[in-house]
């Protein structure tokens, strides 16, 4: 199966002429005439950007998602390609209306006409994993109905197997393979893909995000209608807004684009550091702007979480980074075990400074993130920094956020926007505020546990689960017996020593009467 999938990838690559992207390099340009002669039968009438988009669509969901990420990085790819790949965000070719109606019949056990008062069979948006239709419930509420693509699980399963095969080759053949931990990265990616294939999980994610931002003035999240949710069909509140990619239209509506860009950064850091639960698929196709200028989040299939340890580590790194305290950045990497323990701190600090200094105090439009990422990778390779799979989705989201910021406001200073938020968050986590917050959170638990402690301790001491306490008792008895024996030996030795000191005096006393 892997060989067949690999053969299909090769066929699609040649069919759409994607070798052009490789043969355009000076090193391989001499091969171009040979390839053109060998593949003369191909009608390549479309532009390279259109052919790339069509190839990614033909290859399936994982490749489409790769294209979605690339589409947000106009600093890394040509404009014509970025414009064309942007169509992958919500304009992937849809599946037929009959298939959508059959999916509803299968999910509810009755036709769409009996479930909804109205159902539009023509999708309003179509993505790599599912498509969305507008409908109206029988109580009059306007809703959006998300339906999974048929057999999408099998397609993704084959692609994931191929990714594992490729990761295994990278790990075994490349000297940096083990440091990059490609198999663990693929496993993390697979976990999120599995979540995306269960719309009940997506509904739960959306419900949690809505609760986190219930009273927010920055972000709106649609309500989930649980009575109509199924593993393959999800129904939620229909939201009215303008796609965030339509910047000119937003300006016509009077939206402050600079403020919108800053608030996008704030929303991201709020999700990451306050909640530890963030939207990990924030490409423009998943974001609308409401008439009052607030963000509207859609598509909750890929969400990610962070532990308190991860949040604290990241916050320390970001703050040290914003303050240009490169020594603290180096120390944090070494303390967390991301860099080897024997790493020379001063050399690591100097390398980080060389990478980061050129991008400070500059708006996004003046920063070459392609060069920055390349130098960052070279530095991490030199010092053996280990890739952290649990943060892969965060890194992907950061790329999306930064790309979105470029589209909205190239003058945005990402560092100055994020720094005050992180400083406030750290002040709430550390010191008296942090202690007070922790005590409030733990008080109910300790209030219940403290009165039970004597009984729990007595029970633990009186029970012998697995023989552990019995072994401990026997060890203590043996230790006490050994201590008693040593005390007896010491006492005898002291007695003999004392007797040796007293013998001359005793002999004098015995001799004098004679």
Active site residue 308: no
Identify the CA nearest to 423 among candidates 306, 257, 273.
273
Q: Is the distance from CB of 177 to CB of 272 less than 8 angstroms?
A: no
Residues in a beta bridge with 136: 118, 142
Q: In a 3-state reduction of DSSP, which class is residue 300?
A: coil
d(C-alpha 281, C-alpha 261), whole Å: 17
Q: Is the distance from CB of 332 to CB of 313 less than 8 angstroms?
A: yes
**Angle (nearest 5°) at CA 82 between 6 and 284:** 100
Q: Is the distance from CB of 84 to CB of 67 less than 8 angstroms?
A: no
Torsion angle defined by CA atoms of residues 292, 294, 297 and 303, in that order, rounded to the nearest 10 degrees? -170
Q: Is the distance from CB of 307 to CB of 313 less than 8 angstroms?
A: no
Burial class (CB in 10 A: 0-12, 13-18, 19+), 160: middle
d(C-alpha 49, C-alpha 386), whole Å: 35
For residue 297 the two structure tokens come to 């989040």
Identify the CA nearest to 401 among candidates 391, 412, 390.
412
For residue 257 the two structure tokens come to 């684009």
Beta-strand relationship, 277-279 and 303-305: antiparallel
Q: In a 3-state reduction of DSSP, which class is residue 463?
A: coil
- Choice among 75, 90, 195, 281 that is catalytic: 281
Beta carbons within 8 Å of 245's beta carbon, 6+ residues apart: 86, 89, 284, 285, 407
Query: Phi, psi (5° rounding) for residue 361?
Result: 60, 30
Catalytic (active-site) positions: 281
């Amino acid at each position: 199966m892997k060989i067949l999938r690999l053969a299909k990838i090769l066929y699609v690559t040649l069919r759409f002429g994607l070798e052009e992207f490789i043969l355009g390099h000076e090193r391989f340009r001499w091969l171009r005439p040979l390839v053109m002669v060998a593949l003369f039968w191909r009608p390549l009438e479309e532009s390279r950007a259109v052919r790339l988009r069509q190839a990614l669509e033909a290859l399936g969901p994982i490749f489409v998602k790769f294209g979605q990420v690339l589409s947000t990085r106009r600093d890394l790819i040509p404009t014509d390609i970025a414009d064309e790949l942007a169509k992958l965000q919500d304009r992937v070719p849809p599946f037929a209306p009959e298939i959508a109606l059959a999916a509803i019949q299968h999910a509810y056990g009755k036709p769409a006409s009996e479930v909804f008062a109205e159902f539009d069979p023509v999708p309003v948006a179509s993505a790599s994993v599912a498509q969305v239709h507008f409908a109206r419930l029988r109580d009059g509420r306007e809703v959006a109905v998300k339906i999974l693509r048929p057999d999408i699980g099998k397609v993704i399963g084959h692609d994931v197997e191929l990714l594992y095969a490729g990761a295994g080759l990278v790990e075994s053949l490349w000297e940096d393979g083990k440091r990059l931990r490609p198999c663990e990265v693929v496993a993390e990616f697979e976990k999120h893909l599995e979540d995306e294939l269960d719309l009940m999980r997506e509904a739960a994610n959306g419900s949690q995000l809505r609760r986190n931002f219930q009273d927010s003035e920055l972000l709106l999240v649609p309500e989930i209608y649980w009575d109509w949710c199924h593993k393959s069909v999800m129904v939620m509140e229909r939201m009215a807004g303008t796609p965030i990619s339509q910047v000119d239209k937003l300006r016509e509506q009077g939206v402050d684009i600079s403020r919108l860009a800053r608030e996008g950064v704030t929303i991201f850091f709020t999700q990451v550091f306050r909640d530890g639960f963030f939207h990990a698929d924030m490409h423009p196709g998943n974001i609308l702007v409401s008439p009052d200028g607030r963000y509207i989040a859609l598509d909750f299939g890929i969400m990610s979480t962070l532990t308190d340890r991860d949040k604290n580590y990241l916050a320390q790194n970001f703050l040290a980074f914003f303050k240009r305290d490169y020594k603290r950045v180096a120390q944090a990497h070494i303390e967390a075990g991301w860099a080897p323990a024997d790493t020379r701190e001063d050399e690591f600090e100097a390398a980080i400074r060389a990478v980061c200094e050129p991008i400070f105090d500059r708006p996004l439009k003046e920063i070459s993130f392609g060069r920055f990422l390349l130098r960052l990778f070279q530095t991490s390779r030199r010092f053996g920094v280990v890739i952290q799979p649990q943060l892969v989705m965060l890194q992907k989201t950061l790329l999306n956020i930064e790309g979105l910021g470029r589209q909205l406001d190239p003058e945005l200073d990402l560092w100055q926007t994020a720094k005050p938020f992180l400083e406030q968050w750290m002040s709430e986590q550390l010191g008296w505020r942090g202690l007070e917050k922790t005590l409030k959170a733990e008080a109910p638990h300790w209030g219940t546990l403290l009165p039970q402690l004597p009984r729990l301790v007595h029970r633990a001491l009186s029970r012998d689960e697995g023989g552990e306490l019995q072994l401990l008792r026997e060890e203590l008895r043996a230790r006490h017996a050994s201590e008693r024996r040593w005390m007896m030996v010491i006492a005898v030795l002291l007695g003999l020593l004392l007797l040796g000191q007293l013998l001359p005096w005793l002999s004098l006393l015995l001799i004098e009467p004679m």
